C-alpha cells in the first residue's frame, strides 16, 4: 500500500493544541535555562565532572516533559520492539530519517526501554537548532553535536566531542542519521536523481546513506575504545506522516501511531576499513528498505508492523509514576518561574544575562558546548 498520507491541513482545535504544547515546552526550557542552567555554569569551571553529571540528568529529566506531551496530549501510540539498549555502554544509534521529528519521538522509545537512556543519549543535529532560545541552549549544555552537514567542516567538531565524551568518564549513546537529511519531497527528488545518475537500486522508503561521516565516527569511536555496539533503529509511521516541527507545534499535526524496531549489532562484527564500512552501511540500508516495505504493505493501520520484531517495550506502571511525577514537577516549577518572572522587575536582568551568556557563547565560541570542551581539556593538563 505504501506510506500513509502526509498531514498538511489541521483543524482549529488541533492548532490550539499545538500552540499549547509549544508554550509549555518553550516556557519550561527558557525558564529552566534562566533559573537552573545559568546558575550552574560556574560549576563547569569548579568541578566539571559534577557539572556534567547534573546537567545530563536535568536535561534528561526535562525530555520526559515534551515526550509526555506528545504521548498524552497529542495522543500518539508508540510500538517499540527489538533488542534492549544497554545504558552503561557507549554506543552508536543509526536511524532512517523519515521526518524532522524522528529524534523527538525516539525519546518515547528510549523511555520505554530504560528511562535513564534519556540522560545518556546524545544527538547529532543540524546547527540551526542551537539558536533556539531555551531548547537550543539546553542541547548545547548537554553536548549535542550541531552539524553544518558538510563533512569537511564537521569532522573536527565530531572528533572533539567524541573525545570529550570519552574523557568525561560517562558512557553515552550517539544518535546519527546517516541519510544526512529528512525524507521530505525535495530530498526524495534529489535522491531519485542521484539513483539515476549512479545507477543505484531505487529506494521508496529511505534515502541512500552518506557513508563518509558514518565510517569516520565508527573508526574514531573505535580509536577511543568508546563503542561496544551499534543499534540499527528503524522508524515507521503507520497512520500519517508529519514532516516538520512547524507542522507539529504550530499546526498541531501529529501522527497517531509510531513504530520503532531496534537491532543490536556488536562492533566486533563490523569491518575495519573505511571502504568496507561504507559498503556495510549500504547493505544495512538495503535491509532497512525491505523491512519498511514489509511494514507498509498492509492496508490498515493495525496491519503495519515490523517483521520478526522481537521484544516489546511498554510503559510499565512504575515508569508511569516516574513519568507523571517528573511532568508535575516541571509544570509546577514552570508556573512558579513564570509568576516570579513577571512579579519581580529584577528578573529581566537575569533574562538579559542569560541571553548575553548563551548567545555570546555562540557568537564568540560556537556555543556553550565548546566552552565545556576547553574547560575539560584544560583540566586534563
> What is the per-residue pLDDT across 315-335, written as a single tens digit (0 to 9) for each?
999 999 999 999 999 999 999
User: Is 95 contained in some domain?
Assistant: yes
CB 14 within 8 A of CB 242: no
Averaged pLDDT for residues 36-42: 98
User: Is 173 contained in some domain?
Assistant: yes
pLDDT of the residue at 149: 75
Averaged pLDDT for residues 99-115: 97
User: Is 3 contained in some domain?
Assistant: no
User: Is 22 contained in some domain?
Assistant: yes
Cα dist from 62 to 15, 31, 84, 138, 200, whole Å: 24, 12, 23, 10, 43
Residue 82 has pLDDT above 90, yes or no: yes
Residue 298 has pLDDT above 90, yes or no: no
Give the side-chain half-sphere CA count within 13 A for 96.
Answer: 27
> What is the per-residue pLDDT across 340-354, written as a single tens digit (0 to 9) for each?
999 988 899 999 999
pLDDT of the residue at 380: 67
User: Is 154 contained in some domain?
Assistant: yes
**Based on the structure, what is the number of domains in the chain?**
1
Residues 6+ apart with CB under 8 A from 342: none
Q: In the chain, pLDDT over 90 holds for what percent of residues? A: 90
Is pTM beyond 0.75 here?
yes
Residues 6+ apart with CB under 8 A from 131: 362
Q: In the chain, pLDDT over 70 holds for what percent of residues? A: 99
User: Is 4 contained in some domain?
Assistant: no
Confidence label for 279 from pLDDT (cuts 50, 70 and 90): very high
Task: For the chain, give the mean pLDDT.
Answer: 95
CA-CA-CA-CA torsion sign (304, 234, 90, 244): negative
Q: Give the residue carrying C-alpha cell 563547569.
A: 44
Across 338-349, b (16+ Cβ under 10 Å) vs e yields: eeebeeeeebee
pLDDT of the residue at 80: 97
How far is Cα 202 from Cα 207, in angstroms, rounded to an integer?
9
> Which neighbouring-strand residues pair with 126?
147
> What is the per-residue pLDDT across 133-158, written as a single tens digit (0 to 9) for each?
999 999 999 999 999 877 888 999 99
C-alpha cell at 141: 549544555
User: Is 67 contained in some domain?
Assistant: yes
Ordered strands of the 145-147 beta sheet: 145-147, 121-126, 173-176, 91-95, 229-237, 257-266, 77-82, 312-313
Provide the residue range defining the domain that includes 73: 12-379
Confidence label for 381 from pLDDT (cuts 50, 70 and 90): low
Amino acid at each position: 500500500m505504501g506510506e500513509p498520507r502526509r498531514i498538511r491541513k489541521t483543524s482549529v482545535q488541533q492548532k490550539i493544541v499545538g500552540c499549547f504544547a509549544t508554550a509549555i515546552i518553550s516556557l519550561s526550557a527558557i525558564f529552566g535555562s534562566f533559573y537552573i542552567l545559568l546558575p550552574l555554569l560556574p560549576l563547569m569551571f569548579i568541578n566539571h565532572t559534577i557539572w556534567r553529571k547534573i546537567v545530563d540528568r536535568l536535561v534528561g529529566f526535562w525530555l520526559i516533559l515534551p515526550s509526555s506531551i506528545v504521548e498524552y496530549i497529542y495522543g500518539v501510540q508508540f510500538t517499540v520492539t527489538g533488542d534492549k539498549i544497554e545504558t552503561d555502554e557507549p554506543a552508536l544509534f543509526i536511524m532512517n530519517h523519515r521526518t524532522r521529528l524522528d529524534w523527538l519521538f525516539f525519546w518515547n522509545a528510549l523511555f520505554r526501554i530504560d528511562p535513564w537512556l534519556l540522560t545518556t543519549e546524545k544527538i547529532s543535529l543540524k546547527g540551526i537548532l542551537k539558536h533556539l532560545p531555551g531548547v537550543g541552549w539546553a542541547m548545547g549544555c548537554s553536548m549535542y553535536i550541531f552539524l553544518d552537514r558538510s563533512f569537511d567542516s564537521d569532522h573536527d567538531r565530531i572528533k572533539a566531542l567524541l573525545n570529550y565524551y570519552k574523557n568525561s568518564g560517562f558512557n553515552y549513546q550517539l544518535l546519527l542519521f546517516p541519510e544526512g537529511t529528512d525524507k521530505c519531497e525535495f530530498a526524495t527528488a534529489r535522491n531519485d536523481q542521484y539513483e539515476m545518475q549512479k545507477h543505484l537500486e531505487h529506494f521508496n522508503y529511505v534515502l541512500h546513506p552518506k557513508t563518509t561521516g558514518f565510517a569516520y565516527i565508527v573508526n574514531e569511536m573505535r580509536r577511543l575504545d568508546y563503542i561496544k555496539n551499534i543499534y540499527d533503529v528503524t522508524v515507521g509511521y503507520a497512520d500519517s506522516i508529519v514532516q516538520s516541527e512547524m507542522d507539529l507545534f504550530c499546526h498541531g499535526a501529529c501522527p497517531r501511531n509510531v513504530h520503532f524496531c531496534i537491532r543490536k549489532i556488536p562492533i566486533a562484527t563490523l569491518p575495519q576499513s573505511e571502504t568496507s564500512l561504507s559498503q556495510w552501511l549500504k547493505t544495512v540500508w538495503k535491509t532497512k528498505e525491505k523491512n519498511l516495505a514489509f511494514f507498509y504493505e498492509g492496508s490498515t493501520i493495525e496491519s503495519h508492523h515490523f517483521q520478526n520484531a522481537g521484544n516489546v517495550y511498554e510503559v510499565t506502571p512504575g515508569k508511569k509514576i516516574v513519568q507523571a511525577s517528573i511532568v508535575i514537577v516541571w509544570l509546577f516549577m514552570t508556573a512558579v518561574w513564570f509568576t516570579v518572572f513577571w512579579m519581580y522587575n529584577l528578573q529581566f536582568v537575569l533574562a538579559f544575562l542569560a541571553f548575553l551568556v548563551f548567545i555570546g557563547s555562540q557568537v564568540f565560541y560556537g556555543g556553550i558546548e565548546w566552552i565545556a570542551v576547553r574547560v575539560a581539556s584544560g583540566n586534563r593538563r
